[in-house]
Amino acid sequence: MSDTLNFGHIIVGTGQATGTLLSKLIPTGESIAVIEGGSIGDTCVNVGCTPTKALVASAKVAHMVRRAAEYGVQTPSPSIDFGAVRDRMNRIRHNSRDGLTGFIENAENVTLIRGLASFESNHVVNVDGQ
């Protein structure tokens, strides 16, 4: 990365709103910087909403199987393979992160900059000293 780059838009972080913002900004053709100092997808995709919802979905299925007899369905009591539950959660999480990463990296007018951003002034953002 050179010392100075100019962009029409700068998005700091790749959280929940990034995909929505990019889908509105990319068609304008203006240059866009997306700066991320951690994992693409931020908290929601990596350790928050996405993995939590995946775990809850598995728990709901186990709960419904345990209640199957109430619905006239005879089935043995479920056993939980937590390794498989975790693997499913990780697949969902990684697919979300990889999908957003690909979306960002493949957009012609978007530059993904890895590093920690800090604001130097109203129109200048510093990323890891540059």
| Cα 118 from Cα 124, distance rounded (Å) | 9
- Count the Cβ atoms, other than its own, within 10 Å of residue 69: 11
Taking the model in full, what pTM does it have? Answer: 0.84
What is residue 77's predicted lDDT score, i.e. its pLDDT? 86
The full set of domain ranges for the chain reads 9-127
**Residue 130: strand, helix, or coil:** coil
What is residue 55's predicted lDDT score, i.e. its pLDDT? 97
Beta-bridge partner residues of 109 = none
| Cα 69 from Cα 99, distance rounded (Å) | 40
Token readout for 63 is 């709960």
Q: How far is CA 111 from its chain centroid?
A: 17
Give helix then strand counts, H and E, for the chain: 4, 5
Q: Which CATH superfamily is domain 9-127 in?
A: FAD/NAD(P)-binding domain (3.50.50.60)
Mean pLDDT by 10 residues, the chain (130 residues): 82 94 97 96 94 97 95 92 98 96 96 96 93
What is residue 2's predicted lDDT score, i.e. its pLDDT? 53
